[in-house]
């Protein structure tokens, strides 16, 4: 398993598609960071200190960055999954790999972990970019880089962090199933986006007992406040008992991994 | 025990048969050649052998394991190159071999990788990206990848595609060396002269069915060709005289094909004379794989 994972990680690391995804993400992060830093610095000293402590000081910047990463990930996530799983269909490299691996389940798991690592790398890139911007801003205005205004904020931020990890796992495994089932990078990636927005739609406009089963869109909580208010009507939908939501999300994850590996196991490569 | 045992293997794509009732047995250390025109089912048979696809009926075994259900336990013993090899974008030859080695769960040291690359003549191009390789170089790299795990069974689909004459010769000696070391080689190719030199056993597959198979030494027989007038009359006399060989005595164009060990006794000449058959020419001709292949195709 470890060796298969190494092989997959090596392939992704040297893939031009991954380099392009990284470049696009980096550019967007740089623009986002520049806007945030310039906005903070452009105000008078008092307001700029407040603004800095609210969204740019560590650990607050982690949550600010996650908001940007979340939106970016909706598009780049399926792209990375399509690279990891779909490339083997488009270039017919399954015929090289499958006669070598001792278990398709292990291969599927290794590919899923690689896709997750790719998405996590993009998220980390956002953290680093904003971190550097924040450090520059703190030096300019003389603010403290480490600043925790109130413990609740830290707690709330940690929740968001965990949700991000779980959502990333859920989203990449969903995308993997769709790429494997469609045997196409493009169809799989578009199907993932459609499925995601389908879930959000169902949660928004269906009774609570139905919406509950589409719990992963609960993680639309990750959207920054102003986006969330705009997108999600009826905020009460987000108050679905969180423990049940977590259970259902876990069930989704488990089912998606099982389904994806079973589809791969059964597939013929004629 | 046979290393490869194919038993009435059949594969349908919806209602169209890709291969039908194929049965082949290959013993250890044999270099086996699968010969057939394009679309005859060679690649399908190979994909079935390495578990990439499942048969509609019948079964195939490698080292006693069913390839449809137990191939995962054979990955260290069996290596294959299927059709034109496709590789992972962005990787060099060394990285590609290392990646393939990782997939098979084995650790290959730099020295082993370089040895293999030297064996297939790619050592100088080891740090070049594989996507910039020519078809012949990719083919060589695929063979190196197949040899990584020192397999007991090596399956190669059209390995001479894109190879220059030197490459073909090198591949031949590589396969013969592997065979003498005990590796069973299953190779499909269009290069009949090459297979004639390399293989000890062959099978001709046309339209998804095995038309002829056997040891190359048995198949490469010498036959006689007779020109006679009227040819049909001569054919029926020969068949009546030698009913045991009735199937082997046959028309080939306007000539009659007769097995080489055939003794045209004086009684035959008497029959010809009695029936006003004139014999113009009798020629001994050696039958190569190419002629047998042509016969198999013509039969269909």
| Residue-level pLDDT at B300 | 65
A11–B86 C-beta distance less than 8 A: no
Which residues are CB-contacts of B12 (< 8 A; sequence separation ≥ 6)? B18, B56
Structure tokens at A59: 């650990």
Closest Cα in chain B to A107: B103
Last residue of one domain, picked from the residues B218, B233, B261:
B218
The answer to whether the beta carbons of residues B175 and B187 sit under 8 Å apart is yes
Q: Do B189 and B255 share a domain, yes or no?
A: no
Q: Do B56 and B144 share a domain, yes or no?
A: yes
pTM reported for the whole predicted model:
0.82
In terms of Cβ atoms closer than 10 Å to its own Cβ (0-12, 13-18, 19+), residue A85 is buried
The answer to whether the beta carbons of residues B9 and B21 sit under 8 Å apart is yes
B237 Cα distance to chain centroid: 37
Q: Does the ipTM exceed 0.85?
A: no
Q: Do B111 and B254 share a domain, yes or no?
A: no
The answer to whether the beta carbons of residues B79 and A99 sit under 8 Å apart is yes
Helix axes A60-81, A185-205, angle to 10 degrees: 130
Q: Do B165 and B267 share a domain, yes or no?
A: no
Last residue of one domain, picked from the residues B163, B191, B218:
B218
Cα atoms found within 13 Å of the Cα of residue B139, Cβ hemisphere only: 18
- Chain A positions with Cβ closer than 8 Å to B: 3-4, 6-7, 10-11, 14-17, 87, 91-104, 107, 268-270
Nearest-Cα distance to chain A for B182, in Å, is 21
The closest CB to that of B86, out of A92, A102, A104, belongs to A92
Distance CA B270, CA B273 (A): 5
Count of CB pairs separated by less than 8 Å, A with B:
98
Distance CA A97, CA A10 (A): 14
| Residue-level pLDDT at B161 | 79
Q: Do B233 and B138 share a domain, yes or no?
A: no
| Residue-level pLDDT at A238 | 47
Q: What is the DSSP string of B50-82?
A: TTSS--SEEEEEETTEETTTSGGGGTTTEEEE-
Cα atoms found within 13 Å of the Cα of residue B117, Cβ hemisphere only: 22
CA-to-CA dists, residue A234 to A203, A237, B285, angstroms: 10, 6, 90
Q: Do B162 and B128 share a domain, yes or no?
A: yes
Q: What is the DSSP string of chain A?
A: -HHHHHHHHHHHHT-HHHHHHHHHHHHHHHHHHHHHHHHHHTS-HHHHHHHIIIIISBTHHHHHHHHHHHHHHHHHHHHHHIIIIIHHHHTT-HHHHTTT-S-HHHHHHHHHHHHHHHHHHHHHHHHHHHHHHHHHHHHHHT--SB--S-HHHHHHHHHHHHHHHHHHHHHHHHHHHHHHHHT-HHHHHHHHHHHHHHHHHHHHHS-HHHHGGGGGGGGGGGS-HHHHHHH-S-GGGGGS-HHHHHHHHHHHHHHHHHHHHHHHHH----
Helix axes A151-182, A104-141, angle to 10 degrees: 140
Domain encompassing residue B282:
220-299
| Residue-level pLDDT at A217 | 62
The answer to whether the beta carbons of residues B145 and B96 sit under 8 Å apart is yes
**Spans of chain B, pLDDT less than 50:** none
Q: Give the total number of structural domains in chain B.
A: 2
Edge-to-edge strand ranges of the sheet holding B209-215: B78-81, B153-157, B184-188, B31-35, B201-206, B209-215
The closest CB to that of A15, out of B90, B100, B142, belongs to B90
Structure tokens at A261: 């590996």
Q: Do B53 and B133 share a domain, yes or no?
A: yes
Three-state DSSP state, B170: helix
Q: Do B235 and B124 share a domain, yes or no?
A: no
Helix H segments across chain B? 42-49, 93-103, 110-119, 135-147, 165-180, 192-198, 216-219, 231-241, 266-274, 289-299
| Residue-level pLDDT at A222 | 44
| Residue-level pLDDT at A110 | 94
Structure tokens at A33: 């960071």
Q: Do B75 and B179 share a domain, yes or no?
A: yes
A93–B72 C-beta distance less than 8 A: no
Distance CA B231, CA B277 (A): 8
Distance CA B56, CA B52 (A): 13
| Residue-level pLDDT at A138 | 84
| pLDDT one digit per residue (tens) for chain A, 270 residues | 888 999 999 999 999 999 999 999 999 999 988 988 888 888 787 888 877 877 787 777 887 888 788 888 888 989 999 999 998 998 888 888 988 888 899 999 999 999 999 999 999 998 899 889 888 888 888 877 777 767 776 777 777 777 788 888 888 999 999 999 999 989 999 999 999 888 888 877 887 777 777 766 655 554 444 444 444 444 444 444 566 777 788 888 899 999 999 999 888 887
Q: Do B69 and B175 share a domain, yes or no?
A: yes
User: Which of A95, A109, A185 to mutate to probe the B interface, most B CBs <10 Å?
Assistant: A95
Last residue of one domain, picked from the residues B184, B218, B252:
B218
Q: Do B78 and B15 share a domain, yes or no?
A: yes
The answer to whether the beta carbons of residues B285 and B224 sit under 8 Å apart is yes
Q: What is the CATH number of the domain that holds B261?
A: 3.30.70
Q: What is the CATH number of the domain that holds B54?
A: 3.40.50.300
B53–A95 C-beta distance less than 8 A: no
Q: Do B195 and B240 share a domain, yes or no?
A: no
Which residues are CB-contacts of A20 (< 8 A; sequence separation ≥ 6)? none
- pLDDT, one tens digit per residue, over B201-241 is 888 888 888 888 888 777 776 677 888 888 888 888 888 88
B50 Cα distance to chain centroid: 16
Contacts of B106 in chain A (CB under 8 A): 3
| Residue-level pLDDT at A258 | 93
């Amino acid at each position: 398993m470890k060796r298969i994972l190494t092989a997959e990680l090596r392939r992704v690391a040297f893939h031009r598609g991954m380099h392009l995804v990284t470049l696009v993400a980096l550019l967007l992060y740089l623009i986002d960071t520049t806007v945030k830093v310039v906005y903070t610095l452009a105000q008078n000293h008092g307001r700029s200190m407040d603004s800095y402590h609210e969204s740019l000081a560590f650990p607050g910047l982690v949550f600010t960055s996650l908001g940007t990463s979340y939106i970016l990930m909706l598009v780049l996530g399926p792209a990375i999954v399509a690279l990891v799983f779909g490339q083997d269909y488009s270039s017919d490299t399954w015929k090289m790999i499958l006669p070598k691996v001792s278990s398709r389940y292990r291969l599927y798991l290794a590919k899923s972990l690689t896709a997750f690592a790719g998405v996590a790398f993009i998220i980390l890139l956002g953290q680093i970019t904003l971190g550097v911007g924040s450090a520059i801003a703190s030096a300019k205005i003389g603010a403290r880089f480490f600043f925790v205004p109130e413990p609740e904020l830290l707690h709330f931020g940690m929740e968001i962090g965990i949700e991000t990890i779980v959502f990333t796992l859920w989203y990449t495994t969903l995308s993997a199933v769709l790429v494997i089932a469609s045997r196409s990078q493009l169809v799989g990636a578009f199907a993932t986006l459609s499925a995601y927005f389908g879930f959000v739609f169902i949660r928004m406009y269906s009774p609570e007992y139905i919406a509950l089963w589409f719990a992963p869109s609960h993680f639309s909580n990750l959207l920054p406040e102003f986006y969330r208010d705009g997108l999600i009507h009826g905020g009460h939908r987000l108050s679905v008992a969180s423990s049940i939501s977590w259970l259902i999300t876990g069930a989704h994850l488990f089912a998606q991994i099982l389904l994806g590996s079973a589809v791969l196991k059964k597939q013929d490569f004629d | 025990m046979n290393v490869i045992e194919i038993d009435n293997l059949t594969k349908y794509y919806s209602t169209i048969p890709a291969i039908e009732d194929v049965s082949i047995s290959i013993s250890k250390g044999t270099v086996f050649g699968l010969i057939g025109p394009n679309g005859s089912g060679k690649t399908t048979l190979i994909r079935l052998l390495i578990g990439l696809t499942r048969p509609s009926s019948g079964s195939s075994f490698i080292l006693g394991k069913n390839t449809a259900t137990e191939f995962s336990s054979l990955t260290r013993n069996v290596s294959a190159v299927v059709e034109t090899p496709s590789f992972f974008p962005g990787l060099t030859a060394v990285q590609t071999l290392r990646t393939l080695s990782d997939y098979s769960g084995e650790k290959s040291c730099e020295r082993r990788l370089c040895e293999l690359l030297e064996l297939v003549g790619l050592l100088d191009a080891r740090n070049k990206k594989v996507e910039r390789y020519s078809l012949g170089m990719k083919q060589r790299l695929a063979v190196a990848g197949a040899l990584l795990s020192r397999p007991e069974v090596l399956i190669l689909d059209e390995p001479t595609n894109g190879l220059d004459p030197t490459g073909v010769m090198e591949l031949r000696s590589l396969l013969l060396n592997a065979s003498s070391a005990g590796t069973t080689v299953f190779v499909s190719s269009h290069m009949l002269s090459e297979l004639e030199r390399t293989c000890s056993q062959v099978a001709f597959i046309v339209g998804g069915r095995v038309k002829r198979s056997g040891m190359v030494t048995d198949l490469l027989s010498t036959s006689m060709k007779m020109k006679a007038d009227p040819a049909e009359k001569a054919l029926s006399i020969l068949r009546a005289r030698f009913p045991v060989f009735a199937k082997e005595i046959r028309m080939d164009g306007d000539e009659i094909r007769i097995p080489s060990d055939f003794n045209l006794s004086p009684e035959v000449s008497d029959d010809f004379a009695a029936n006003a058959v004139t014999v113009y020419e009798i020629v001994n001709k050696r039958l190569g794989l190419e002629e047998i292949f042509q016969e198999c195709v013509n039969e269909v």
